């Protein structure tokens, strides 16, 4: 995306969540003082842009944590840091998990800085908007950390080396409760839609409602906090009824006609810009020169080819999902940039097709099947755009059908692994796939990543390692 929003570079923001070994060396403060920086509305706005800028780092290798730990993708070589993800042999010193942890906490740190300096914003509407955006970004990244690592530190404010109580980890229930609270407030404060081109890529009420619904569907049932299917259904219905979003007529246009009406929240990038481009496109689509970090598995290709063979072939989604030039290559993110590692394809975090399928999931409410008309209509809308068979009137939508549809429609968008967990199918499907591919998968333990050893060491034991590592 080529708007100015992401071109603000904040090199003076440095997050040191847990920075150095030993109490005397522990420094959690940024290198520069912010006392003189937050003086007026524009400076808070620039800081908020810096928070979005930090978010650009999060998707760069997220596919390793998600797609490569599922049956969707694999590495060119099963060796090294990336091969470890598909083998479920991830070491706590793995550079990818360490960087992903740091990238998310950088966003949280910057969001907290914004939230703590809103008093200088004099216009109440603008102040509310800024607060809603910062809370949304803080919730999104806490959510990403929670589903990836389980119990992690919850940071509701900027911290110094004196805040020892924040160096440890919080329970998943505490994290989900906090995330839900942030998103509830964001829903109250955010505008329904962006008002001008400068605001493209910024959070809206629709994004907050959609993310809140997904969180409510993802909550780990532990007695204190349970999944709220009814509330998720209501939120998603509100997004649908807002008439602010619609499916693109052509599936390909979702990914190559940026800022289209299907986008609920995305992370924009600029092509051929060393500061604001991305290279995940290179890892999935640059045949012959790519390092091969995210190839399509034979399992996905076989499943995809057989999915509708008895009815209608996948003629529309096929050339978008799988490049016609090479069937190992993902087709969704083929770059038009001049430099192969400086791609401008935006990352779609939430889109309307996901909202429709989540709505059907909320109606299914953990059961195995439903005849509910609204659930079937939402499912059919996504299928209709793809040109494949729909459920006839009076038909049945099963959990398996919905999970399969999410796998195809949202393939390579970092959804599959967490979908399997949310549907309660991860242990079964991943164990079967692991057997087929000759790797070892440990049910439950391998559903969480190891926490970075560096963070455990520097927290002086406050952060504890997950089981199995």
**Residue-by-residue DSSP string for 119-132:** GG---HHHHHHHHH
What does the pLDDT look like over 296-343, one tens digit per residue? Answer: 999 999 888 776 655 667 889 999 999 888 888 899 999 989 998 999
pLDDT at 71: 97
Between CA 460 and CA 469 the distance in angstroms is 18
Q: Give how far Cα 329 sits from Cα of 277, 279, 388, Å.
A: 20, 15, 23
- Counting residues of the chain whose pLDDT is more than 70, the rounded percentage is 87
Q: Which of 151, 38, 159 is nearest to 108 (CA)?
A: 159
Round to whole Å and give the CA distance between 313 and 134.
44
pLDDT beyond 90 at 94: yes
Do residues 28 and 161 lie in contact, with contact meaning Cβ atoms separated by under 8 Å? Answer: yes
Q: Rounded mean pLDDT of 227-237?
A: 98
Predicted confidence band of residue 203 (pLDDT cuts 50, 70, 90): very high
CA distance readout (Å), 446 to 142, 268, 383: 20, 32, 32
Per residue in 278-294, pLDDT (tens digit) is 999 988 876 545 555 78
How high is the pLDDT of residue 165? Answer: 66
Contacts 24+ apart (CB under 8 A), 360-366: 360/397, 360/402, 361/217, 361/402, 361/422, 362/213, 362/217, 362/229, 362/230, 362/232, 362/233, 362/236, 363/229, 363/233, 364/397, 364/399, 364/402, 365/229, 365/230, 366/227, 366/229, 366/424
Query: What is the pLDDT, as a whole number, of residue 312?
Result: 65
Q: Report the C-alpha gap between 456 and 233 in whole angstroms.
A: 39
The CA distance from 214 to 119, in Å, is: 31
pLDDT digits (tens, 9 = 90+) for 240-256: 999 999 999 999 999 99
The region of weakest confidence among 155-169, 227-241, 359-373 is 155-169
Of residues 187 and 1, more confidently modeled: 187
126 alpha carbon, distance to own chain's centre: 27
Lowest average pLDDT, out of 6-15, 52-61, 276-285, goes to 6-15
Q: 347 in helix, strand or coil?
A: strand
Given a cut of 80, whether residue 129 has pLDDT beyond it is: yes
pTM of the model: 0.91
Task: Indicate the length of the chain as a whole number.
Answer: 469
Residues near 8 by Cβ (< 8 Å), separated by ≥ 6? 46, 49, 50, 53
CA distance 175 to 152: 8
Q: How confident is the model at residue 93 (pLDDT cuts 50, 70, 90)?
A: very high
In the CATH scheme, what architecture does the domain 1-190+440-464 have? Alpha Horseshoe (1.25)
Mean pLDDT for the chain overall: 88
Comparing 117-126, 186-195, 441-450, the range with the smallest average pLDDT is 186-195
**Other residues' Cβ atoms within 10 Å of the Cβ of residue 162:** 10
Q: Which of 31-45, 88-102, 316-330 has the lowest mean pLDDT?
A: 31-45
Distance from C-alpha of 114 to C-alpha of 111, rounded to nearest angstrom = 5
- Parallel, antiparallel or unpaired: strands 295-296 and 73-74: antiparallel
User: Is the pLDDT higher at 352 or at 2?
Assistant: 352
Q: Which residue has the tokens 């119990």?
A: 151
106, 69 in Cβ contact below 8 A? no
Provide the pLDDT for residue 289.
53
Residue whose tokens read 């399928």? 357
The DSSP call for residue 422 is H
Q: What is the pLDDT of residue 213?
A: 98
Any idea what DSSP says for residue 349? E
Q: What is the mean pLDDT of residues 357-375?
A: 98
Each residue of 176-202: pLDDT tens digit? Answer: 999 999 999 999 999 998 767 778 899
Alpha carbons 425 and 111: distance in angstroms, whole number: 34
The percentage of the chain sitting over the pLDDT mark of 90, rounded to a whole number, equals 74
Position 412 pLDDT exceeds 80: yes
pLDDT score at 159: 82
């Amino acid at each position: 995306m080529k708007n100015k929003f992401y071109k603000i570079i904040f090199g003076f923001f440095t997050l040191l969540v847990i920075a150095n070994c030993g109490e005397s060396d522990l420094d959690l403060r940024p290198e520069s003082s912010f006392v003189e920086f937050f003086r007026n509305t524009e400076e808070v706005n620039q800081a908020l842009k810096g928070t979005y800028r930090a978010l650009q780092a999060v998707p760069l290798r997220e596919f390793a944590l998600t797609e490569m730990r599922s049956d969707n993708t694999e590495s060119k070589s099963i060796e090294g840091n990336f091969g470890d993800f598909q083998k479920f042999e991830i070491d706590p010193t793995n550079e990818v998990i360490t960087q992903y942890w740091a990238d998310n906490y950088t966003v949280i740190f910057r969001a907290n800085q914004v939230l703590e300096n809103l008093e200088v914003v004099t216009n109440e509407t603008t102040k509310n908007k800024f607060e809603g955006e910062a809370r949304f970004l803080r919730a999104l990244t806490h959510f990403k950390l929670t589903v990836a690592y389980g119990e992690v530190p919850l940071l509701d404010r900027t911290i110094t080396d004196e805040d020892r109580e924040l160096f440890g980890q919080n329970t998943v229930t505490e994290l989900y409760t906090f995330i839900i609270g942030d998103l509830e407030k964001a829903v109250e404060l955010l505008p329904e839609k962006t008002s001008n081109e400068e605001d493209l890529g910024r959070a809206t009420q629709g994004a907050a409602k959609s993310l809140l619904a997904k969180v409510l569907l993802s909550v780990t049932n532990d007695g204190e906090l349970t999944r709220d299917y009814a509330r998720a259904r209501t939120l998603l219905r509100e997004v649908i009824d807002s008439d602010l979003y619609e499916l693109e007529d052509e599936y390909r246009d979702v990914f190559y006609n940026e800022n289209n009406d299907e986008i609920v929240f995305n992370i924009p990038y600029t092509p051929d810009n060393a500061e604001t481009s991305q290279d995940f496109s290179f890892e999935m689509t640059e045949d012959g020169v790519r390092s091969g970090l995210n190839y399509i598995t034979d399992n996905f290709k076989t499943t995809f080819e057989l999915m509708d063979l008895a009815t209608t072939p996948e003629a529309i989604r096929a050339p978008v999902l799988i490049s016609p030039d090479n069937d190992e290559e993902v087709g969704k993110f083929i770059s038009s940039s001049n430099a192969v590692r400086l791609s401008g394809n935006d990352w779609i975090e939430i889109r309307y097709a996901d909202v429709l399928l989540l709505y059907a999931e909320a109606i299914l409410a953990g059961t195995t099947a439903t005849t509910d008309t609204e659930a079937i209509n939402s499912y059919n809308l996504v299928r209709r755009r793809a040109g494949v068979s729909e459920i006839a009137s009076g038909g049945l939508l099963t959990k398996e059908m919905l999970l399969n549809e999410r796998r195809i429609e949202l393939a390579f968008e970092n959804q599959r692994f967490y979908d399997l967990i949310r549907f309660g199918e991860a242990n079964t499907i991943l164990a079967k796939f692991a057997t087929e591919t000759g790797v070892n998968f440990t049910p439950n333990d391998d559903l969480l990543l190891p926490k970075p050893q560096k963070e455990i060491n520097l927290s002086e034991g406050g952060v504890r390692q997950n089981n199995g590592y």
